[in-house]
Each structure stands twice: as structure tokens, then as C-alpha cells.
């Protein structure tokens, strides 16, 4: 990344959200302006969002990216302000008045709802809720979670495979990874004997990475089944990745004959509706040619993507000005958006890094070209409005 024109000055920058997109944006902007005040706000006490609370605890290599983010706050002069929810503790308008640049990097925290899931029906859980629970997110509790002995996972992306792995990992291994004992007890209470993992795509077009499927082979005492491996990708969808089909076929072929637990992949089925009175007792799927598949299940776990939470105090669409250019990360004068909040729930941490670099370049170009005036006071202007005194706020994690 090239250095910005020193004559352009150094803007004050507020970044809302301390997940990968927010931290990468701070990292790239620090390379542009060594003496800018850059403040990262988060409603939680601790930073790193998805890295801390969304990545499966047995994927420590992915979580290790947090170490490079530590340097932002320990060495590079970026300030972290936790326990501060923008839109509640301080308004976005106040932040925009105080900082030259404001970047929304709050991601998409709500599980995309499953069509046909009855409101209030117990036993339907979002993958985001479950992964946050496993990672110790302060908003998630084990109360009311009952997976039962038969679990159906809707969706066949990497998050769905994360759930399969976490549900079937021995309790001692989860405890060794730091998962709370009450969470480990909840996951193993069934105990889970069968997992149905159902998706609408043919195997080559499913969303999981081949490496994630191969990782399942290390689970002890598990037999794998698969229906629909012969399905071809939909016309016009492309050839897909035949390695995905082969990875599932290898799991099936390598399954032990005497396993007490089963994982059943079913390809080519879209969810139609959930059945049950007070709690789930089944879910019905339909194929593209109209066939019906009814699965008896004790719980349904949705892994079909994420959306902006309806209760989020700052909604992206509410702040798109007349000159908004979402493709470049521009919402309004001095207001930018990055990561999943900008482009939707797609791409992993490396994709968010590339996204942050692009938006940082957009910001730097606007400042260097004089399109974005600078000179606002920064954090000192909003500190008095925060309920927690500025000197008591966590500035270094």
C-alpha cells in the first residue's frame, strides 16, 4: 500500500466494530497515516469479533490472526474502546461530527431465518448462536438449548461442517480447547446419535471447502452416509468442484462398520417447513422435481447464512446518502462501510482483508484528493458523552 500524500494531513478515524474487517481497516489506514488518531469502538469488552466468537475453537490457526491485531493496540497506537455501542451509548451522528472518517464494520450477526420455521417453536437454533455459545460469547447462554439425539443441520457450507465437528468432538477435547463445561454438557446431553446435514445443491456445488470435509474423517466412532452424490450441478451453474463429491465419497468409503454415530449427507433438497407442536419433531424438504423428504429430528440447526440484525442500533441502509457507492465502500460524506456489512455474508477472513484494503484505499484517495475535508477533533469530542469516564474505558487489550 502506498503512503498517502503527506500534504493531505492526517484525519481522525473512528471504526465501528473490532472484527477482522474493522481491524484490517485500522491496519491499512495506519500504514497511510502514522500519526492519525484511529479509534476502534465495540459494544463488547474484548475485540476481534468473528475471530474470537465465530471461528471454531479447534481452528486455532485461524484464530491466531488476532495476534497481528494485538500489535495495532499494543504498538501501532490504535485505540480500542470497548463497552461502547454506537447508536446506543453514542450516536452515529455524534461520531461523524467528532471524526473526519467513520467506518462501519459491524458485520452481520443475525442468523438468516429458515422459511417455514414456526415462530416460538423450540428446537430451532441458528449456527451463529451455537458457535458464539461454544466460543463463550457473553450474549449466549445454554438455557433452553436441547439438541437431542437426532440433529438436522440445514445448509452444507463450512459453518455447517463446523457444527458437525463440534457436535461430535469428544467432551474431553472440547474442554481442553477451553469450551465452558456447561456448554460441553449441553452439546453432549442427547447424546447425539445421528446428524442429518441437508442442502439444496449437488455435491460439486456445495459451499464447503474440501479440506473441511476431509477434517471430518478424524472424528472417532462416526459412520458417514450420502444420498444424492450422483446429482449433477444445475444447468448453467457451472461444473462445480468434483473434489467436493470425491471428499464425501471418501468419507463414506472409509467409515467404520461398527460406529455408533452417523452423519448423513443429503444433497439436492431445499427446506419446506418444520413440523411440531411446542417443539420440533421433524422437518420437510423438497427436491427441484417436486419430491418430498420428511426427516424426523429432535432439533434443527440452520447454517444458511447471516443477515443484519433487525435490532442493530445502526442499520446500513438508513445511512446511505445520495452519493453512496457501496461497491467502493462509500455510504455518505465521511462515512464508509466494509466487510460483510458492505458486500453480504460471503468470504472468509482473507476476503475481509482484501475488502478492508480496498475501502482503506478509497478513504485515502478521498483525503489525498481533497474530497474529504479533515480537521475534526476526534475522541476527545465524544468522550464526555459516554457514560463510562474516558480514563476508565479499556484502551489496550
What pLDDT, in 10s, does the model give residues 241-274? 899 999 999 999 999 999 999 999 999 999 999 9
Helix axes 65-74, 20-32, angle to 10 degrees: 50
Distance (Å, whole) CA 47 – CA 16:
11
- CA 59 to chain CA centroid, nearest Å: 14
Q: Are strands 292-296 and 280-286 parallel, antiparallel or unpaired?
A: antiparallel
pLDDT confidence of residue 118: 60
What's the residue count for the chain?
397
Determine what percent of the chain is predicted with pLDDT higher than 90. 78
Measuring CA to CA, how many Å separate 231 from each of 226, 288, 290? 11, 11, 15
CB-based contact 154:302 (threshold 8 Å): yes
Domain 112-307 architecture = 3-Layer(bba) Sandwich (3.50)
Can you tell me the mean pLDDT for 359-370?
Answer: 96
Question: Cβ-count burial of 236 within 10 angstroms (0-12 exposed, 13-18 middle, 19+ buried)?
Answer: exposed
Distance (Å, whole) CA 241 – CA 244:
6
Can you tell me the mean pLDDT for 133-154?
Answer: 95
> Which of 129, 154, 143 is CA-nearest to residue 274?
154
Q: Which of 84-88, 91-95, 112-116, 304-308 has the lowest mean pLDDT?
A: 112-116
Q: Are strands 150-154 and 194-199 parallel, antiparallel or unpaired?
A: parallel
Say yes or no to pLDDT of 64 above 90: no
What pLDDT, in 10s, does the model give residues 264-303? 999 999 999 999 999 999 999 999 999 999 999 999 999 9
Say yes or no to pLDDT of 32 above 50: yes
317: CB partners within 8 A, 6+ apart: none
Measuring CA to CA, how many Å separate 303 from each of 2, 55, 59, 289? 39, 14, 18, 23
Say yes or no to pLDDT of 2 above 90: no
> Strand, helix or coil at 363?
helix
What average pLDDT does the structure give for the chain? 90
Can you tell me the mean pLDDT for 225-239?
Answer: 74
127: CB partners within 8 A, 6+ apart: 111, 153, 155, 159, 160, 162, 163, 301, 302, 303
Cell match 447454517: residue? 303
Say yes or no to pLDDT of 394 above 60: no
pLDDT confidence of residue 256: 95
Place 132 in a pLDDT band, splitting at 50, 70 and 90: very high
Q: Which three cell numbers stand for residue 103?
A: 467506518
Q: What is the DSSP string of 70-126?
A: HHHHHTS--EEE-S--BTTTB-HHHHHHH-SEEEE-----EEPPPTTPPTT-BTEEE
Determine what percent of the chain is predicted with pLDDT higher than 70. 93
Residue 373 has a CB neighbour count (10 Å cut-off) of: 13
Domain boundaries, the chain: 6-109+308-392, 112-307
Place 9 in a pLDDT band, splitting at 50, 70 and 90: confident
Can you tell me the mean pLDDT for 355-372?
Answer: 96
What pLDDT, in 10s, does the model give residues 159-200? 999 999 999 999 999 999 999 999 999 999 989 999 999 999
Q: Which of 31-45, 140-154, 189-203, 303-317 has the lowest mean pLDDT?
A: 303-317
Say yes or no to pLDDT of 1 above 50: no
Say yes or no to pLDDT of 117 above 80: no
Tell which wins on pLDDT, 146 or 64: 146
Question: Cβ-count burial of 2 within 10 angstroms (0-12 exposed, 13-18 middle, 19+ buried)?
Answer: exposed
Q: Which of 16-20, 53-57, 339-343 has the lowest mean pLDDT?
A: 53-57
Whether domain 6-109+308-392 has CATH 3.50.7.10: no
> Which of 183, 191, 62 is CA-nearest to residue 133?
183
pLDDT confidence of residue 172: 96
The one-character DSSP state at 4 is P
Helix axes 349-368, 20-32, angle to 10 degrees: 40
Say yes or no to pLDDT of 20 above 90: yes
Burial track 241-265 (b if 16+ CB lie within 10 A, e otherwise): beebbebbeebeeebeeeeebbbbb
Say yes or no to pLDDT of 5 above 70: no
Amino acid at each position: 500500500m502506498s503512503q498517502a500524500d503527506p500534504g493531505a494531513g492526517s484525519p481522525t478515524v473512528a471504526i465501528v466494530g473490532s472484527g477482522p474487517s474493522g481491524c484490517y481497516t485500522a491496519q491499512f489506514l495506519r500504514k497511510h497515516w502514522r500519526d492519525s488518531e484511529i479509534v476502534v469502538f465495540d459494544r463488547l469488552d474484548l475485540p476481534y469479533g468473528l475471530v474470537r466468537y465465530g471461528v471454531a475453537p479447534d481452528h486455532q490457526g485461524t484464530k491466531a490472526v488476532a495476534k497481528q491485531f494485538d500489535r495495532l493496540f499494543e504498538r501501532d497506537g490504535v485505540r480500542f474502546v470497548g463497552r461502547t455501542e454506537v447508536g446506543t451509548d453514542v450516536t452515529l451522528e455524534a461520531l461523524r461530527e467528532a471524526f473526519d472518517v467513520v467506518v462501519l464494520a459491524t458485520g452481520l450477526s443475525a442468523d438468516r431465518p429458515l422459511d417455514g420455521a414456526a415462530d416460538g417453536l423450540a428446537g430451532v437454533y441458528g449456527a451463529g448462536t451455537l458457535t458464539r455459545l461454544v466460543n463463550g460469547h457473553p450474549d449466549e447462554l445454554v438455557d433452553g438449548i436441547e439438541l437431542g439425539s437426532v440433529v438436522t443441520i440445514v445448509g452444507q457450507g463450512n459453518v455447517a461442517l463446523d457444527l458437525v465437528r463440534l457436535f461430535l468432538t469428544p467432551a474431553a477435547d472440547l474442554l481442553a480447547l477451553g469450551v465452558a463445561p456447561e456448554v460441553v454438557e449441553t452439546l453432549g446431553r442427547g447424546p447425539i446419535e445421528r446428524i442429518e446435514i441437508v442442502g439444496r445443491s449437488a455435491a460439486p456445488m456445495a459451499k464447503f471447502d474440501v479440506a473441511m470435509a476431509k477434517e471430518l474423517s478424524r472424528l472417532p466412532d462416526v459412520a458417514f452416509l450420502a444420498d444424492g452424490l450422483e446429482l449433477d450441478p444445475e444447468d448453467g451453474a457451472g461444473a462445480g468442484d468434483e473434489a467436493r463429491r470425491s471428499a464425501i465419497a471418501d468419507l463414506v468409503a472409509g467409515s467404520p462398520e461398527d460406529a455408533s454415530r452417523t452423519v448423513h449427507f443429503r444433497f439436492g433438497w431445499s427446506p419446506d417447513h418444520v413440523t411440531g407442536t411446542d417443539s420440533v419433531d421433524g422437518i420437510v424438504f423438497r427436491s427441484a422435481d417436486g419430491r418430498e423428504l420428511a426427516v424426523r429430528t429432535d432439533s434443527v440447526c440452520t447454517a444458511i447464512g447471516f443477515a443484519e440484525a433487525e435490532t442493530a442500533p445502526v442499520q446500513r441502509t438508513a445511512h446511505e446518502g445520495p452519493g453512496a457507492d457501496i461497491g467502493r465502500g462509500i455510504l455518505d460524506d465521511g462515512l464508509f462501510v466494509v466487510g460483510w456489512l458492505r458486500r453480504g455474508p460471503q468470504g472468509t477472513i482473507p476476503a475481509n482483508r482484501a475488502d478492508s484494503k480496498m475501502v482503506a484505499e478509497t478513504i485515502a484517495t478521498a483525503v489525498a484528493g481533497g474530497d474529504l475535508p479533515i480537521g475534526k477533533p476526534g475522541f476527545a469530542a465524544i468522550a464526555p458523552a459516554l457514560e463510562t469516564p474516558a480514563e476508565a474505558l479499556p484502551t489496550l487489550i
